[in-house]
Chain A
Amino acid sequence: MTGLLPAISQVCTFRIGSAYLGIEVLDVQEVLFRADVTWVPRAERGIYGLINLRGQIATAIDIGMCLGLSRSGAADPVHVVIRHGGESVSLVVDKIGDVLTLDPELVDPPPVTLDESKRALLRGAYQLDDDLLLIVDIRRVLSVRSELLGTGCHGAR
């Protein structure tokens, strides 16, 4: 079983479109409600742009696109900044939610019927009263992102 990791107890939640997602709270460095994004020409799909994070340049990733979710298209997305492999990466989401403490009993592996490529990116699904919270394996997402999407640079000319 790949999904269940007892280590997670608290997740930082956010919404992309109608989907309710969470990542381990310890991965989160900070949340920015406003950031000027510089668009990167000819970048891969899934690269949202670059932001200035206190003098360092962080890549903003459209995590929704990586997971096959579409954002609501709200004007100012929220940047959830995480540390990944020594660099800061920002995940672009629609809305930031609460930090939830999870009951490990209620975490289930992602449904087996889910497409394997997506299933691998999720650590589990958590049952809330009125919703399902998908716990994203953010390391997985970032490491396989390029393979999933292919490079947009090729064939451009």
Chain B
Amino acid sequence: MDESDGMEEIVAEFLVESREGLDRIEGHLVTLEDAPHDLHIISEIFRVLHTLKGTCSYLGLPKLESVAHRAETVLSTIRDSDHEMTTEMADVLLATMDTIRLILESLERSGTEGESDVGAFIEELERVTLATKPQRRSTDLPPIAAPEARGRLGDLLVSAGAAERSDIERALAKQKAGDGRTLGDILVDEGKTRQESVNEAIGKQRSEESSIRVDVSLLDSLMNMVGELVLCRNQIQRQLSDGNASNLQAPAQRLNSITTELQNAVMKTRLQPIGRVWNKLPRLVRDLSRQCGKNVRIEMHGAETEVDRTILEALKDPLTHMVRNTIGHGIETGPERMALGKEPEGLLRLTASHQGGKVQIDVSDDGAGMDVDKIRTTAVERGIVTKDEVDELTDNEVVHLIFAPGFSTASSVNNLSGRGVGMDVVRINIERIGGEVDITTGRGQGTTFTIRIPLTLAIIPALIVCCGPNRYAIPQVSLLELVHLEPVSAENPTEEVCGAPVYRHRGHLLPIVDLRLEFGLPPTAEGAARQLAVLVCDGREFGLVIDVVESTEEIVVKPLGRSLKDNQLFSGATILGDGSVALIIDVVGLAVATNVVRTSLARSESRLKAASVDPELTEDLTLIVLGLGDGARIALRLSGVDRLEELPVGSIEQSRQRDVVQYRGGVLPIIDLGPATGLGASALVSGQTMSVAVHTYEGRSIGLAAARFLDIVANPSVVRATDGTIESAIIDGQVTDLIDAFQIMEASRPMLVPVGAGLIS
């Protein structure tokens, strides 16, 4: 390696370190504004600047050095006097950080400090310094800690005042002379220092060396190699289990465990706390809120939540944008807030946590909330939806329109937000990493954006269970307890309430979901003991019957491929120790699919409108029950039916290859509900009559034909589908599928509207 290479490396490292330092300082400066006397923070900032300055002079970067030096002077003025950090100082100091960043950028690009003129800037810094001349030199303040002696145990002991240098030198000489004891032991044995001091120093030595910088691409390639190793290990194991090389069993076992551990360790290297992205936000909040004349406080919880590095990168922009939006639109100005009886200072809260096997990030504010009516109007104005469509949407759905491309409610375009690009980009970025974003808002009550990212590569503890031929992972967060189901109580140790299985558990009836039934597997052999996992979802407990509980493991969650994205029963998959794939059960999805809980959409809906009520729940549901050709029954909403007609099947004629009948002086297209729904045989049996429910679709009449009309039922018990819509109803003790007439007509659209021909209504 020639000298210039070495230099380049030093500069690169300097850049990384300086940027990290700057990120830290910015956070500290914002904190300092609120706690102007916190000497610890000042010292911390001081130290970073000092290191920066030192390296600058070593690398020959005079401009950077002088900026850092002047900033240091401002800080020392604050430190050494009774002065508080004023907003003006904070401004200047933050601007300093920006200037330093600019110079660093130019350094990275061109290797020089760039052409930017820092003279005026330095004057400004000096002016601020002069304005805050020290009034009283305080002597009792702790000195800024000198850069501590690094590395060597002896140095650490000396700097901690626990040993004399001369003693250490003597001890080292002894070691050289062949004394086998460690340095610490020699010193302790000779009574030169205490064992505790040595331990402390060793601890310090370790912590200094406990982290190093590693190139990400190196980690990636490590990961790939580990993957290959796992595959190779699997092959060896397979060979062994087939063959008879018994002397290889033991090393293969070790290879197995080492590989698994290595794999886990390498994967863990890619995780980083989400705080790394959040670090930049306090500064952003401060600057933006001042720009808009608002007063906003930022709170962050769960910054230590670990997220995969790639996700972290992808989250940066969406989070920034959400924060911008919140300050720009969400939070009101001080006077407005006072008028509403709120605290003048707005609150922006960021929370991160592992939730049910996903990483959930909430960005919430206590601002104005979203104006649903305004969103409706804007969405129509921007042509995102039509007037008719928007009337059909629930408030919750309307709120989600802000994620549509080209949507922006800002009445004026400012540099904060409202540039027309925005929430759609946020959504796309989050969906790109397999996440989803949800909004909860209430007028005057603020808005919460909930980002859920699948825990791609996040590592979670899980229970590995067997059911049928496969093994599955159940995230521990959802697991309350395990119950052994005795085989003695016949094949079914559970009881039933109207056909719904329940289990008596601590005096309560626990609804039961049998995983075998859910997965369409045959029941177990009679007399086999099974296990009941008591799970909790959305505060509701339910029991999941599985075959065997295998173990608990820390699993690495992998995303499912695109073709399985819609699958709601599984949140991902993992690779078990033996290399086989286990699906991770999405407890929330399972609970929703089995009607243990209603959907999140429905839930947020009820949260959204605490006072008003979910229209689907209270709507006067009247169903018209129709029979198909082979006796199958279906139901339609009566509200959508214009008229009900009995017509002879023989009256059907063919026009442009579609079935029509002459009806009220026009032509009525007929959709045969049998094949159209796939639920029964054709309703059109020649020589008989058919029952036609006439609907209106795009302003035209369409007839949905069934074999016979059976009944009209008001407010039956209903079964909801996963998206909260009603899927079927229980009529006369029979589950009857509720057909969405609109969907049927939509699906038959090409048939209804042939090219170049309109429908006659």
Do A and B belong to a common assembly? Answer: yes
A-to-B contact residues, CB < 8 Å: 36, 38-44, 47, 50-52, 54-59, 61, 85, 87, 89, 142, 145-146, 151, 153, 156-157
Q: How far is the CA of A52 from the CA of B228 in the complex (A)?
A: 11
For B519, the chain A residues whose CB sits under 8 A away are: 41-42
Look across to chain A and name the residue whose beta carbon is closest to the beta carbon of B472. A41
Q: Is the CB of A55 within 8 A of B470?
A: no
A–B complex contacts, Cβ < 8 Å, 9 sampled: A38-B580, A38-B583, A41-B519, A41-B520, A55-B263, A85-B562, A89-B561, A145-B563, A157-B594
- Known A-B contacts A55-B230, A58-B561; the reply to A42 vs B579 at CB < 8 A is no
Whether B575 lies near A57 (C-beta < 8 A) is yes
Collect the chain B residues with CB atoms within 8 Å of residue A151's CB.
Answer: 566
Docked Cα-Cα span, A57 to B575, in Å, equals 8
CA distance A57 to B576 in the complex (A): 12
Task: Check A50 against B581 for contact (C-beta < 8 Å).
Answer: yes
Interface residues of B in 685-729 (CB under 8 A from A): none
Q: How far is the CB of B194 from chain A (nearest CB, A)?
A: 49
Q: Which residues of the other chain, B, contact A89 by a CB distance below 8 angstroms?
A: 561, 563
Which residues of B lie under 8 Å from residue A142 when comparing CB positions?
Answer: 563
Q: Which of B518, B558, B581 contacts A42 (CB 8 A)?
A: B518
Cβ–Cβ < 8 Å partners of A57 in chain B: 558-561, 573, 575, 581
Scoring A42, A44, A145, A157 by chain B CB atoms within 10 A of each residue's CB, the highest score goes to: A157
A153 neighbours in B (Cβ, 8 Å): 566-568
Instruction: State which of B234, B469, B564 has its C-beta within 8 Å of the C-beta of A59.
Output: B564
Within 8 A of A (CB), among B240-298: 263
Chain A residues in 8 Å Cβ range of B234: 52
**Interface residue tally on B, bucketed by range:** 35 or more
B410 at the A interface (CB under 8 A) = no
A43 in contact with B579 (CB, 8 Å): no
Q: Decide: A38 and B228 in contact? CB cutoff 8 A.
A: no
Measured CB to CB, the closest approach of chain A to B595, in angstroms, equals 9
Nearest 3 A/B pairs, CB to CB: A55-B227, A41-B519, A59-B561
Known: A36-B581, A38-B581, A156-B520. 10 other contacts (CB 8 A): A38-B573, A38-B583, A42-B520, A50-B581, A52-B581, A54-B231, A58-B561, A87-B561, A145-B563, A157-B593
Q: How far is the CB of B489 from chain A (nearest CB, A)?
A: 26
In the complex, are the beta carbons of B569 and A146 less than 8 A apart? no
Say whether B226 faces chain A, with CB atoms less than 8 Å apart: yes
A55 to B267 Cα, complex, angstroms? 11
A44, A50, A58, A157: the one within 8 Å of B583 (CB): A50
Q: Say which residue of B231, B470, B518, B594 sits within 8 Å of A39 (CB atoms).
A: B470
Bound-state CA distance A133–B573 (Å) is: 36
B570 contacts the other chain (CB 8 A): yes
Query: Which residues of B have CB within 8 Å of A50?
Result: 560, 573, 581, 583
Contacts A40-B570, A57-B575 hold; do A47 and B563 have CB atoms under 8 A apart? yes
Whether A43 touches B469, Cβ cut-off 8 Å, given contacts A38-B580, A57-B575, is no
Q: Could you tell me the distance between the alpha carbons of A30 and B399 in the complex, rounded to whole angstroms?
A: 46
Q: Are B563 and A56 in contact (CB under 8 A)?
A: no
Q: Are B563 and A61 in contact (CB under 8 A)?
A: yes
Asked whether B224 is an interface residue with its Cβ less than 8 Å from the other chain, the reply is yes
Chain A residues with CB below 8 A from B569, complex form = 41-42
Given known contacts A38-B583, A42-B519, A55 and B226 CB-to-CB distance under 8 angstroms: yes
Inside 8 A of A58's CB, which chain B residues have their CB?
Answer: 561
Q: How far is the CB of B170 from chain A (nearest CB, A)?
A: 54
Cβ of B354 to closest chain A Cβ, rounded Å = 20
Judge whether A40 and B564 touch: CB under 8 Å: yes
Chain A contacts for B582, CB-based, 8 A: 38
Q: Are A54 and B228 in contact (CB under 8 A)?
A: yes
Contact mask for chain B residues 208-226; partner A; CB cutoff 8 A; 1 contact, 0 none: 0000000000000001101
A43, A54, A61, A156: which has the most chain B beta carbons within 10 Å?
A: A54
Cβ contacts B158-190/A at 8 Å (1 or 0 each) = 000000000000000000000000000000000
User: Are A44 and B520 in contact (CB-based, < 8 A)?
Assistant: no
Q: How far is the CA of A39 from the CA of B468 in the complex (A)?
A: 10
| B581 & A51 in contact (Cβ 8 Å cutoff) | yes
How near does chain A come to B216, taking the closest CB pair, in angstroms?
17
What is the bound-complex CA distance between A44 and B348, given in angstroms? 42
In the complex, the answer to whether A36 meets B579 with C-beta atoms within 8 Å is yes
Tell me which residues across on chain B come within 8 A of A39, comparing CB atoms. 469-470
Select B518's contact among A40, A41, A54, beta carbons within 8 Å. Answer: A41
Of all chain B residues, the one with the shortest Cβ separation from A41 is B519
Task: List residues 515-538 of chain B with CB under 8 A from any CB of chain A.
Answer: 518-521
Residues of A within 8 A of B580 (CB): 36, 38, 52
Most chain B CB neighbours (cut-off 10 Å) among A54, A55, A61, A157: A55
Which residues of chain B come closer than 8 Å to A55, judged between CB atoms? 223, 226-227, 230-231, 263, 575
Separation in Å of the A142 CB from the closest CB of chain B?
Answer: 7
Q: Which residues of A contact B594 (CB under 8 A)?
A: 157
Chain A nearest Cβ from B734, distance in angstroms? 15
CB nearest to B557 among chain A residues: A57
**Separation of A146 and B561 alpha carbons in the complex (Å):** 13
Complex CA distance for A38 and B469, rounded to whole angstroms? 9
With both chains docked as a complex, state the minimum distance between the C-beta of A156 and any C-beta of chain B, in angstroms: 8
CA distance A151 to B227 in the complex (A): 32
Q: Please give me the residue from chain A that is nearest to B231 by CB atom.
A: A54
Distance of A146 Cα from B228 Cα, bound (Å)? 31
Tell me the bound Cα distance from A51 to B518 in angstroms.
Answer: 22
Provide the bound-state CA to CA distance between A41 and B575, in Å.
17
B567 and A43: CB pair below 8 A? yes
* Pairwise interchain contact A54-B230, C-beta atoms closer than 8 A: yes
How far does the alpha carbon of A5 sit from the alpha carbon of B573 in the complex, in Å? 37
CB distance from A51 to the nearest CB of B (A): 7
| Residue of A41, A89, A153, A156 most packed against chain B (CB within 10 A) | A41
**Chain A residues, Cβ within 8 Å of B561:** 57-59, 87, 89
B581 contacts which chain A residues (CB < 8 A)?
36, 38, 50-52, 57
Which residue of A is nearest B515, CB measured? Answer: A41
Structural contact, A146 and B563, CB atoms closer than 8 A: yes
Beyond A38-B583, A42-B569, A50-B583, is A56–B564 a contact (Cβ under 8 Å)? no
State how many angstroms separate the Cβ of B259 from the closest Cβ of chain A: 10
Chain A residues, CB < 8 A from B227: 54-56
Query: What B residues does A44 contact at CB under 8 A?
Result: 563
* Assembled-state Cα–Cα distance A36/B520 (Å): 21
Contact, CB under 8 Å: A59 / B231: no
* Measured CA separation A98–B169 after assembly (Å): 74
Closest to A88 in B: B561
CB closest residue in chain A, given B580: A36
Q: Among the listed A40, A52, A59, which residue makes an inter-chain contact with B575, where contact means beta carbons less than 8 Å apart?
A: A52
Task: Find the residue from A89, A145, A153 having the highest chain B CB count within 10 A.
Answer: A153
Interface centre among A51, A52, A58, A145 (most CB of B within 10 A): A52
Cα of A56 to Cα of B572 in the assembled complex, Å: 12
Give bound CA distance, A4 to B583, whole Å.
40
Instruction: Report the minimal beta-carbon distance from B634 to chain A, rounded to whole angstroms.
Output: 12
Q: Which chain A residues lie closer than 8 Å to B564 at the CB level? A: 40, 43, 47, 59
